[in-house]
Structure 1
């Protein structure tokens, strides 16, 4: 089994903090997610997280006008220059301070960052190779407090900067003679946003108290004059002009002098109007704004979750709607002005709103609190997650979107699992219920309860899907229900501590239960639910899982060990010491070192690989480990996050944060502010004076391998991380010798020796050669060629076919290959069913996805044909004697009924559904 797993995607978190950006075509949203950046493709219904990460949470993202480059800056001032075309980091830079905003000029030649009370303009990186991508051009001073926002004119001649000192500053990007800088006042609160009008120096400024000022400039952009050089530059230019032009230069200069004297007037601004958003006088702070210059549309977001749409400069209200009860942190408009993106950091919510049709294009929200558990569907297409917020979300692994959210639980979800069919989800919760959800009708069709109120800590379903079991945290009992009737079948007693994990044997009707009483008990579901074995451990059991073939049991204990047992003989076959592999970090407020803190850490979740040879372990650390079960050695270790904004990330504390009065982490920096909005004295309506800022601790709460074996998922503090096999750059030949070359493979194809060519291609294991060899076989010879394959190569051919279904257009051709292989070698492969299971499940997943897509298209075509036939039949049955008006009325009613038939099944969308 290969272990070239690399970070593939981030699900479960759609927005954390920072600014949203639309791509230049307006079809995708770029959203900061912690220390990563996710691109949501709204046209193709996909989300993709870039394979890069910053040291801290992303503070701001600047996008170049052509959409090729992006500058990603984190809270520590570190910047990454990223190519969005090849999805790689081109340059690292440190701005030596916290940066609030960054913006490219419209011509793409420069960009400005606001840092502290200054603005710095840099030369933007070009297409050619450069030693230093960021070259500082000018530094602009003026504001007395921190700068907050930037905007450029359309011709890139000037830019404007807003500040917390209630002033707005207009600066020239060049050395203009009549505009060096211009300061504007008129506001009574910090400036939130400022925008230039299209092809003009006219300006709009918005402050946090909900005031909008309209400023008019007396000079057009063409009226800006370059400042004449002085000093040695002027003498040099004058000497060159005299040498080249002589007397003509003198006459031209003499004529130009009076004109220059007439145009000595400086640029001036005057305030035309001042408008207010909060006319009722409530304490609703303006937090974000965006302006589209072509259609003159202003979008403003407020701390109460309300957003307004106004038309400028008349300030006509178009819409006033509420999207949530949390603060809107960022607003962005796409290039056409049709879609508006909103980000709410309090809920982790991302919304894209089409304001003309008043409908959602995208509405996604992660778990409000941390995710606790996850489970893969049997075909690997879906992932279900449960969180401390009581929500159960189902994610599509291909698109990366959540398409259904169940909110029936009233407390935190502790366990989730799929049944063997893949259409039923069973969840346990601290609210004392176990619920079963149907993925066909998206409803809760079973609710299992206990005779006495109890808190369930885990859940498991047997391979038949008929028996549901859940472990109690307070009564130390295991409850067994029937899925068909919903009745309680039995209550299993015997444990003397909280139940920490349950797992059914995949091959037999045996339930394993792990508890804090240092035992694992095996219960026989057939023989009156009696205890068959009790396995004694050296420490408290935290997780338990069976190998896919049911012949081995793995248990994670509190002393950082993983113990392996033979469930038939009740004998321990081995153990792994994982304390040194956890490598936990030191929290900011810890009194002890990280080395001593690691003694109290352990693995809390386990999962076997698809072939059962390796085991995946994670827990109270930022590392996920893959161990070889038989050899009991560490195969690979993954660092799931490098985000220093989380706690317990560093092994040693920073001495700069240590003072004579203690650690600076004890001083709450955000005690007087709520998400950047200042809180006045106690007794006001907004703000909670008892709330404190804290860093979440990095940890892994659940791990699962995909049934296909191609990827694995982990629920962490960062979100739902997906790691998949990186097969593009992997050269992994099979029984290769010097006789196998690409030239000999193609020579065998020309000689129509297809079997030998395909076998040599699989030994070389190059994807393009494999595709060329398989597609060279005529369709009527597929059965003959597939029957001549050795048994060892059949599994490799099936894996290649499964991966080809995802990218190839030759659907029928590869389906014929799959059918012939399974028909010819089906009986022989039964003896190796355990090893072939991941490949078959991968194949099933790929075929099922095509089946869903084609069936939707066929259903739509069938309904369209039925509609056309119904309309034509209705019109053909009309008699000529009927009046014209009645015929039109009858036709209209028939069209309405047919359209209602067309719309059935497409109107019930979830709050997390994608509406395009």
Structure 2
């Protein structure tokens, strides 16, 4: 089974940022998913939930257990942040601008259109309808934009696009029903109550801050008394009856008349002061604001990428910095007030700034254009991606974060790969260069170019890491360079169309090239770079890949087929027709149906699984298909996204957009005066002449299986999606018998029959039991147990040790198991024919775990070593000083004795 594991390559798209209750994690909306970045442990996680369109706002409950996630259409999900499950679906039917829970967690307010809606927050009891509307608050004439609550949840304030701010009572207060504040000349971006007060700050888009003072404290709010319906009275006695005390009912409830009740004074506000951010007069829109009540710090973000920190109410500037050249879309402050989170939707940036030390806690940015290619490192520890923005980024698969970005390319990166050592990344680009990057020193140490400028569309590096090859899409040639010297070795000509894909054999020095001229050519690198074989295809070659053991070749062609070839005999061994499995959606502007357009689609990327038994295929579709190579049949289809904000997602057009003139998306909204549709300018998809807005099309540009066999990744329009093997919930016994029970396994442990206990545990195949058995074996018995294990269980045990080593703290114990298994059984495993296919992913998983621990421990050991050296040097220095002092004391004593002797009479 595979489940969605993580979304890399995209950290923020749009919407509001939130910090967790403890302030250590940032909750960021990424497209139609939600990612949580743990800043203390340096990890990231994408929740296994998704909305139907891009998320616009997220509201977190004060206890940090619940989140309300709302998308562009107003469809909302209630999500538990503890179990990561969806608890409730709801639809607001209109776009929602903001959502905020009350500090006591009992209510939450949602702003949509010109209304503020107050709902009862979902409680601990199981309700049929988790969203119960309490009250609707009207007043503003335009859309409502922002919300803030008082600390005791008695009142809330709502800002609007009509330049007014409205203070509402959350309960039925006698002296505050609503209060409207003016004073601004632009859209209200933020409104904030002072701590434990009704005093207010409002910030507008033109950079104006108004400070409002209330004449009433929070304790001064008086509840409205509920009056029962009075008894009918005579006309003449009306006034007298109202002024008198009346006793009604059997309980003797006292209802006082109006004359006796002192009239409550209504809450009033006055503008205390006004401040301006743009003092120089430059027009710089204020786009986001956040206020931290305990420290009185206001953070404001601007369209130019600048942010300011001010202390209120004095408006003292603490700090000002430019973090980007794009507009800041969202600002958030954590509970302690130390960290400030910024989101820039234009660049896809997410930054967390510690303002006191003036340093970045977290700084991540995705590819702000499409991702084009990816590759796993040989041990599966890292993923490298290249994008249309010309950047090459390296991601850590454990943390999900990017740790280095190379920006040397000046045009789209078309392909990336690791060398077999895992320390060098090679990338090809349309700028006419192939570059090699060093992961030790993080620098571009080789740049390969062709004699005449060429646009490189594909790339491959041989097993030794010495030969680098790249195919050109304009000159139909393949270029070969030496990694050692950087020189061009050969130009391979022969293809009659653009070279679309290159792949070196993992076991031989043979290069396979796919081209649009309907051939696959196999070039022998040892025999003066001659064509060894030419394989004829039925259509243009799109992608070619070798099986991990080098004994099979898979080719994807333009007609939607995947064909399998034996590279030694140059014969076709099978084919799969995948056109029907692509299931392309219909674009909004397409005039043909999805079924017709799918006939012209094909797979653009192929990848074998680590054991070589199945193949992954992806292309211009929202589906990734997994085929069994032996049976040549579809095993599973993954829908990589259900986000309707992308184009080509639905098979049929929306009926609501159909008019008598056809689809509304096909009707140009040009500024014509009835004389027909104006011809759009180049680059305009539809609509207004100056519009450059379009919906990105969903597609899979590259697929790769992890060398460890535990996960696979795909670069898509949405980002870099990682799917992992979920082994925790699957009961998958091996060679099960009636006598294989947990009781019999534990009996063998009591009898100290370690080897048979391990065999029985692996036959039952339950993770907790296997771990219990393994950790019960005494340390000195490990070599004996390893020597007596049957061969078939050696591979299973090695795989289990690799999985345990990744998370366990018993490093030496599991390392001893791994060392003994490899020492005692390594030669036998190597001699077996299926060695490469079955045991290699396990060994790579083991290598990945060891490498990770080595990286973590080596830093710690280095740190400790330097500390010990420092302490040793310090102690030596003190020893020398002490010795010098003792010598000085001795010399002084000797001098005294000598002077005494000299002074004695002879």
Deviations along 1:283-305, one digit per CA (max 9) or x if unpaired, are 21110000000000000001110
Q: Relative to structure 1, is the Cα distance of residues 257 and 824 closer, same or farther in structure 2, using a 3 angstrom cutoff?
A: same
Partner of 2:645: 645
Provide the residue aligned with 1:162 in structure 2. Answer: 159
How many Å separate the matches in 2 of 1:691 and 1:876? 78
Equivalent residue in structure 1 for 2:210, among 210, 213, 216: 213
Which residue of the partner structure matches residue 315 of structure 2?
Answer: 315
Shift of 1:665: 3.2
Matches within 5 A, 1:407-426: 407-426=407-426
Alpha carbons of structure 1 residues 241 and 807: separation in structure 2 relative to 1, 3 Å: farther
Equivalent of residue 854 in structure 1, options 852, 857, 869: 857
Which stretch has the larger CA shift, 866-875 or 726-735? 866-875
Match of 2:270 in 1: 270
Aligned equivalent of 2:551 = 551
Q: What does the per-residue CA deviation read over 1:425-481, in whole Å, with 9 as the maximum and x for residues that have no partner?
A: 011011111111000000111111111111101111000011110001111000001
For residues 75 and 540 of structure 1, the distance between their equivalents in structure 2, rounded to whole angstroms, comes to 41
CA spacing shift, 1:421–1:76, aligned 2, 3 Å? same
Match of 2:644, SS?
coil
The reply on whether 1:153 has 2:156 as its aligned counterpart is no
1:43 equivalent in alignment to 2:44: no
Q: Structure 1 residues 660 and 871, CA, compared in 2 at 3 Å: closer, same or farther?
A: farther
Aligned partner of 1:331 in structure 2 is 331
CA–CA distance in 2 between the matches of 1:208 and 1:659? 39
Q: CA RMSD in A?
A: 1.9
1:84 paired residue number: 81
> Which residue does the alignment assign to 2:889?
none
Superposed displacement of residue 864, structure 1: 1.2
Aligned counterpart, 1:675: none
Task: Say whether the 8 Å CA contact 1:416–1:459 is kept in structure 2.
Answer: yes
Task: Report Cα offsets for 1:702-725 as digits up to 9, x if no partner.
Answer: 000000000000000000000000
1:30-179 correspondence runs (5 A): 30-179=27-176
Partner of 1:868: 871
* 2:675 corresponding residue in structure 1: none
Distance 2:16 2:146 in 1: 11
Shift of the alpha carbon at 1:489? 0.5
Structure 2 matches for 1:523-672, cutoff 5 A? Answer: 523-665=523-665
State the distance in 1 between where 2:443 and 2:874 align.
35
Task: Give per-residue Cα distances to partners, 1:149-193, cap 9 Å, x unaligned.
Answer: 111000001111111111111111111111111111111111111
What is aligned with 1:364?
A: 364
2-structure distance, mates of 1:29, 1:652: 38
Tell me whether 750-759 or 471-480 shows the greater mean CA deviation: 750-759
1:384 is displaced (CA, Å) by 0.3
Residue 756 of structure 1 is matched in structure 2 by 756
Unaligned runs of 5+ in 2: 233-244, 672-687, 886-906
Determine if contact 1:112/1:120 at 8 Å carries over to the other structure: yes
**How far has the Cα of 1:869 moved from its partner?**
2.5
| TM-aligned CA deviation for residue 670 of structure 1 | 14
What TM-score comes out, normalization by structure 2 length? 0.92
C-alpha deviation, 1:232, in angstroms: 4.2
Native 8 Å contact 1:373 1:414 kept in 2: yes
Structure-2 residue corresponding to 1:913: none
CA distance in 2, matches of 1:26, 1:750: 48
Secondary structure, aligned partner of 2:261? helix
How far apart, in 1, do the equivalents of 2:388 and 2:230 lie?
68
1:29 to 20, 26, 31: 26
Partner-residue secondary structure (3-state), 1:85: coil
Q: 1:786 and 2:786 equivalent?
A: yes
Task: Find the aligned partners of 1:122 and 1:466 in 2 and give their Cα distance.
Answer: 65
Q: Deviations over 1:11-35 (max 9, x none)?
A: 0000000000000100000000000
| Alignment length (residue pairs) | 854
**1:153-552 alignment runs, 5 A limit:** 153-232=150-229, 243-244=250-251, 246=252, 260-261=261-262, 263-552=263-552
1:723-738 equivalences in 2 (<5 Å): 723-738=723-738
Summarize the Cα distance change of 1:693–1:865 in structure 2 as closer, same or farther, 3 Å threshold. same
Q: Which moved more, 1:553-562 or 1:651-660?
A: 651-660
Are residues 218 and 666 of structure 1, via their aligned partners in 2, closer, same or farther at CA, if it must alter by over 3 Å?
A: farther
Preserved CA contact (<8 Å) 2:670 2:689: no
What does the per-residue CA deviation read over 1:191-216, in whole Å, with 9 as the maximum and x for residues that have no partner? 11100111001111111111111111
Bigger Rg, structure 1 or 2 = 2
Contact 1:670/1:693 (8 A) holds in 2: no
The secondary structure found in structure 1 opposite 2:819 is helix
Maintained 8 Å contact 1:668/1:692: no
Q: CA deviation at 1:819?
A: 1.1
In 2: Cα distance, 1:162 partner to 1:310 partner: 21
Please say if residues 669 and 693 of structure 1, whose CA atoms lie closer than 8 Å, have aligned partners that are also in contact: no
For residues 309 and 160 of structure 1, the distance between their equivalents in structure 2, rounded to whole angstroms, comes to: 22
Residues 618-656 of structure 1: CA distance to partner in whole angstroms, max 9, x if unpaired?
000000011000110001110000000000000001011
Secondary structure at the aligned position of 2:250 is classed as helix
The 1-side partners of 2:614 and 2:246 are apart by 80
Separation in structure 2 between the aligned mates of residue 463 and residue 750 of structure 1, nearest angstrom: 49
Deviation at 1:871, TM superposition (A): 3.2
Q: Give the aligned partner of residue 801 of structure 1.
A: 801
Question: Which deviates further from its counterpart, 103-112 or 825-834?
Answer: 825-834
CA distance in 1, matches of 2:327, 2:111: 23
Structure of higher RCO (CA pairs closer than 8 Å, 6+ residues apart): 1
Q: Is the 8 A contact 1:544 1:556 kept in 2?
A: yes
Distance 1:193 1:658 in 2: 40
2:499 and 2:710 map into 1 onto residues whose CA distance is 32
Deviation by residue 1:300-357 (Cα, 9 ceiling, x = unmatched)? 0011101111000011111111011101000000000000000000000000000011
Give 1:662 deviation, angstroms.
Answer: 4.6
CA 1:239/1:664 → structure 2, altered by over 3 Å: closer, same or farther? farther
Q: Is 1:518–1:539's contact at 8 Å kept on the other side of the alignment?
A: yes
Q: Deviations over 1:215-256 (max 9, x none)?
A: 111111111111111344999xx9998534x4xx65xx66x9
Give the distance between the partners of 2:775 and 2:530, measured in 1 at CA. Answer: 57
Q: How far apart are the structure 1 equivalents of 2:7 and 2:626?
A: 20
Q: Which moved more, 1:129-138 or 1:652-661?
A: 652-661
Pair 1:841 & 2:844 matched? yes
Deviations 1:675-706 (A, max 9, x none): xxxxxxxxxxxxx9834211100000000000
User: What is the CA distance between 1:879 and its match in structure 2?
Assistant: 8.7
